[in-house]
Structure 1
């Protein structure tokens, strides 16, 4: 891959506001692709962008109208645009864009506006009604009466995803996946659909909204002719163009099955598409497009819409291919009980990719690795496909250089030297192991419901994958395979992981709040469990220096042993569907926050003037034609700004 760290001319940082920083990412190698592949990326990118409104609606029933209201103000308000209240209104809109709705993309709490309801009312009333997103039969006043409590009242729709133990997670979550049903009604509805002897169960509820109409619980399916029809028709239109320029028959079949799924909503067709997608390992260009991850559903069933278009980084992929080619060795030597291991690891493939476009739940904030499909039976029978997104991790690394974070939070020069020497490599390797082997490892015992862990399933699954990677990073097999340069490299990831899980990820949490997001819960669970269970030997400990708290690892070898013990227990919980054990583990270690430590971490971080969350502005692809409508080239540009891009997307890809 092109060495992005050596390119000082590329401006990675776009802007910063609230707790967010926007970055650019480069797409190295795009210009050298064949015309056919450039066309394919362009068509798939258009299909990706057409789904933007779906995620806004999934995240909350009022999100689209609120976004359009604030965009109208931003574009057309003729009053004092230098006033502090207007600046706060602009920040609010930028946060709505970033989070695809009015709740924080990570913490899930509703934004607190920095302006008053009276100010917003005055601004709205100054605009011609023609500029406002009035619903059918609505007046300006009735629109405001409906939306203002949602925007300003802290007790109305306060959490997009509520994970508080003991509460009705459906009724207390603002995500737009359920309407008029309770958690028990939703769980009972889907439990009734499942056959205990079905060896190839579809992911029930994945592509629908569950509602109660006239006392009857029913699904509103997301498909052409059903819910989200207008957006899905646009997506399919671009997918059909992509099908015409597909690289090979296997890829053409993948696209055709996805189109069929969007037409029918048939989850059996989605499984067929998933199998075809994971088996297509020869195509240079690849994509994800559809209802994929379930983190936004408090019950972990409904899937948010997302898309990424990418192409293979051939040089860096040699690293992940080495891992996937040895998948059986890693499975066999895992510290988990043999009852929970796969006898034969099938279909595991991995690659490093260059992202070309991000969309839906992968934009602006995105994952740096993906492992799909999510279906347990498909993983067991057919395998999975894993990717590490190389150009995004490179952009993160480049933007973070010299920002003072390590100097403030890392215990000593010894640990800083480890991080400076190895961290970029070991962080990528941990992602590779997490996605390629961690998620693909282990098996459920016969008859175990894939949804048995309910609201705790996502945290347990992420912990399982993280622990798999952490356990194997120090292994001599990693050096033998040429993946790590020596037996010391893993210590960089161990230190960074423990420091983050115990301390520094707290910068992402508001004072007085608990940990709610699945990935953050996973990291705190692992770090706090390891700290507690290693206390007798002082494996990891808190230390104070100059009034500041630090993490110190005293025995890296014993820490690996602790990771192995926890991995064995996490895999047992997953394999047996032990809900109560999952609940105890998560609630004991993953949720609670030490208020005193939290205050200290926030103060130290605030002094660095950094943003804890980062996201990306996409490049712009422009086709060049020969005058007859035939594409003769596709040009890429990195010049578009954040607001400029968001407004263009709202103008050109607003389908709902």
Structure 2
């Protein structure tokens, strides 16, 4: 494994600009427990922390005690740093399985075989080559008809799936084999309720139960800190927000969380933002259950925009936009920006927020990912323009990518949110639309496993398509008179599309023919749609950029309309064909892997109470500094 590149998420200057009350609010909302998505992850995390505490971070002392060479310790530190940021990249564990240090120190752990065996687990539908602790038990996803029936039942009971996991067990009662599906709901409270009893008179001998109390110990600690943070909230809205989040963690009821999100959206441009909960479904192979996430940034800006059409939500008039500094970002992926909440009814009725993480974006200005794919004569110019092009792309991705599209819907009363008698024309067919979301149907439920990658692709396309609009570039200071010229930004962005499309192949598993990351699949699909040459050195013809934009526009229109009209069948046919990796692309993948960029890791600051004062501590951007930062969080 290559030594990771570590970037410091520096926040000291911004933190000093907060009032004492705001600093206390920030301190208490940053105390969070990460949940993992592999059976071994918690033990591995505890093991890394125990080793650090055993030598007080003096790793040379540990090497002498364990009687191993210091180079072996350095390999372990590289592994630990990548494991901790982003949390839980399972396949990375396999690259140090031969380390002498691991053999010496892990003999007493029941999970040591996960590191030492020649396995190649990826996150995905449980199988011989992939795993997911969203789905527990033997063959939980073998019968998708039963899984679908479980999903429909909980939907009817208004039990949201984001904070749940699914466990299957089978018991034999005479000649009858009874299957039980347990819905494990994250909550502090513990109980269980049977939602469906098995029917002995039918072939469907299936019991469905709701069991509360999943992740209860972690949620208790989080709620303790949320209670403290409420004392220092800036206004009633922030108190209601934290109270609603805490209530949902206590009961498991996501209706309380959803109400809190409505409050959050209406709290415009707060000094300190708060994002907590089961938010993003990227790690669920079915795309419905969400990973716990905690982000604590403070805002620095606000912008607004307008314009909407028949396939656009009515509430796009004033999107809340903020550029923020992150104190804590607890998630498996540290995104450069987010657009939340994910609940579409809240987005259409109350609005949404766009947040760009400024100190996360700085890493993009310093890191030359995939620059070796650019022709040597253009690398200097590419590096000079990369950050500007990437930043504008991300902003447009969040505001006009995730921030647009209206889902055409029929509700349970037979009412439509569009003119049913004179429906809008489908621009793909020129005929009136003939599909929409039925009563109770959601974007998540209809598009299932394609949900995350299609939405990310649509957002990436929107940002890339609009980046040549002069009025937009002017908002970012890019004019014909500026140092960074508009034409160069557009040219650079198309180079990035090529680089990202090729680098995406790092996250494709040819054995399972599965993509491991939603954004990567999207980037490869975009490249495939535009591809004019098949050379691993990215060369963009400036005179053909308009043809490239037209290609992006055609792809964007398809995904946008498929999403708005619930046309899953057409979407799957189009998108799966586009993102299929053929033999030639597998050859590209081999070349890409030979020059794979080093892993990226982020080093967060910590806060500590000294009397009534909050002290901020930042750490060196090294593997040792990163591990120390986690050890001092005292999780």
Q: What TM-score, normalized to structure 1?
A: 0.76
Check whether the contact 1:346–1:381 (CA below 8 A) recurs between aligned residues: no
Partner secondary structure for residue 446 of structure 2 = coil
CA 1:647–1:549: 2 relative to 1, 3 Å: closer
Between the aligned partners of 2:528 and 2:3, the Cα distance in structure 1 is 25
Task: Determine the structure 2 residue equivalent to 1:63.
Answer: 41
Check whether the contact 1:311–1:353 (CA below 8 A) recurs between aligned residues: yes
Check whether the contact 1:624–1:632 (CA below 8 A) recurs between aligned residues: yes
Between the aligned partners of 1:426 and 1:123, the Cα distance in structure 2 is 46
614, 622, 630: which one aligns with 1:649: 630
Check whether the contact 2:88–2:332 (CA below 8 A) recurs between aligned residues: no
Task: Determine the structure 1 residue equivalent to 2:198.
Answer: none
Give yes or no for the alignment of 1:495 onto 2:477.
no
Partner secondary structure for residue 549 of structure 1 = coil
Task: Determine the structure 1 residue equivalent to 2:22.
Answer: 37
Check whether the contact 1:30–1:38 (CA below 8 A) recurs between aligned residues: yes
Between the aligned partners of 1:404 and 1:573, the Cα distance in structure 2 is 32
Task: Determine the structure 1 residue equivalent to 2:461.
Answer: 467
Give yes or no for the alignment of 1:24 onto 2:8.
yes
Between the aligned partners of 1:581 and 1:19, the Cα distance in structure 2 is 43
Task: Determine the structure 2 residue equivalent to 1:273.
Answer: 260
Between the aligned partners of 2:131 and 2:592, the Cα distance in structure 1 is 30
39, 58, 68: which one aligns with 1:81: 68
Give yes or no for the alignment of 1:299 onto 2:300.
no
Check whether the contact 1:202–1:267 (CA below 8 A) recurs between aligned residues: no
Distance apart, 1:99 and its partner CA: 4.5
Correspondence list, 1:257-656, <5 A: 257-314=244-301, 317=302, 321=303, 325-326=304-305, 328-329=306-307, 331-332=308-309, 338=310, 340-345=311-316, 348-362=319-333, 366-397=334-365, 399-400=366-367, 406=371, 408-411=372-375, 413=377, 417=381, 419-420=382-383, 422-447=385-410, 448=437, 449=441, 450=443, 451-479=445-473, 481=475, 484-486=478-480, 487-506=486-505, 515-531=515-531, 540-542=532-534, 549-553=537-541, 554-592=543-581, 594-603=585-594, 605=595, 610-611=597-598, 613-625=599-611, 631-639=612-620, 642-643=623-624, 645-646=626-627, 649=630, 652-654=633-635
220, 229, 232: which one aligns with 2:184: 220
CA 1:351–1:86: 2 relative to 1, 3 Å: closer
Distance apart, 1:190 and its partner CA: 0.7
Distance apart, 1:542 and its partner CA: 4.0
Between the aligned partners of 1:577 and 1:440, the Cα distance in structure 2 is 18
Task: Determine the structure 1 residue equivalent to 2:229.
Answer: 242
Pairs aligned (count) = 550
Give yes or no for the alignment of 1:205 onto 2:161.
yes
Task: Determine the structure 2 residue equivalent to 1:5.
Answer: none
Between the aligned partners of 2:47 and 2:262, the Cα distance in structure 1 is 42
Distance apart, 1:453 and its partner CA: 1.4
Task: Determine the structure 2 residue equivalent to 1:535.
Answer: none
Distance apart, 1:73 and its partner CA: 5.6
Cα displacement string for residues 340-380 of structure 1 (whole angstroms, at most 9, x for unaligned residues): 33355255211111112222335xxx100011001111112
Distance apart, 1:463 and its partner CA: 0.7
CA 1:470–1:25: 2 relative to 1, 3 Å: same
Cα displacement string for residues 287-333 of structure 1 (whole angstroms, at most 9, x for unaligned residues): 2111111111001111111111111124xx4xxx1xxx22x32x44x
Between the aligned partners of 1:98 and 1:483, the Cα distance in structure 2 is 33
Check whether the contact 1:112–1:152 (CA below 8 A) recurs between aligned residues: no
CA 1:542–1:416: 2 relative to 1, 3 Å: farther
Partner secondary structure for residue 219 of structure 1 = strand
CA 1:35–1:266: 2 relative to 1, 3 Å: same
Between the aligned partners of 1:83 and 1:282, the Cα distance in structure 2 is 49
Segments of 5+ residues of structure 2 without an aligned counterpart are 56-61, 172-178, 190-212, 411-436, 481-485
Task: Determine the structure 2 residue equivalent to 1:198.
Answer: none
Check whether the contact 1:170–1:182 (CA below 8 A) recurs between aligned residues: no
Partner secondary structure for residue 152 of structure 2 = helix
Check whether the contact 1:313–1:351 (CA below 8 A) recurs between aligned residues: yes
Between the aligned partners of 2:477 and 2:346, the Cα distance in structure 1 is 29
Distance apart, 1:484 and its partner CA: 3.6
CA 1:511–1:647: 2 relative to 1, 3 Å: farther
CA 1:120–1:273: 2 relative to 1, 3 Å: same
Partner secondary structure for residue 311 of structure 1 = strand
102, 118, 135: which one aligns with 1:178: 135
Between the aligned partners of 1:410 and 1:121, the Cα distance in structure 2 is 41
Cα displacement string for residues 87-107 of structure 1 (whole angstroms, at most 9, x for unaligned residues): 544444444333533614xxx
CA 1:640–1:467: 2 relative to 1, 3 Å: closer
Between the aligned partners of 1:435 and 1:203, the Cα distance in structure 2 is 28
Check whether the contact 2:604–2:629 (CA below 8 A) recurs between aligned residues: no
Between the aligned partners of 1:34 and 1:474, the Cα distance in structure 2 is 41
Cα displacement string for residues 422-455 of structure 1 (whole angstroms, at most 9, x for unaligned residues): 4322211111111122112112221423221111
Between the aligned partners of 2:500 and 2:86, the Cα distance in structure 1 is 23
Between the aligned partners of 2:623 and 2:343, the Cα distance in structure 1 is 35
Between the aligned partners of 2:343 and 2:243, the Cα distance in structure 1 is 20
Between the aligned partners of 1:61 and 1:446, the Cα distance in structure 2 is 39
Check whether the contact 2:81–2:626 (CA below 8 A) recurs between aligned residues: no
Cα displacement string for residues 559-584 of structure 1 (whole angstroms, at most 9, x for unaligned residues): 21211111110012212333333333
Check whether the contact 1:459–1:518 (CA below 8 A) recurs between aligned residues: yes
Between the aligned partners of 2:369 and 2:396, the Cα distance in structure 1 is 29
Q: What TM-score, normalized to structure 2?
A: 0.78
Between the aligned partners of 1:102 and 1:341, the Cα distance in structure 2 is 37
Check whether the contact 2:83–2:89 (CA below 8 A) recurs between aligned residues: yes
Between the aligned partners of 2:525 and 2:9, the Cα distance in structure 1 is 32
Segments of 5+ residues of structure 1 without an aligned counterpart are 1-16, 126-139, 163-168, 196-200, 333-337, 532-539, 626-630
Between the aligned partners of 2:544 and 2:158, the Cα distance in structure 1 is 45
Between the aligned partners of 2:122 and 2:619, the Cα distance in structure 1 is 35
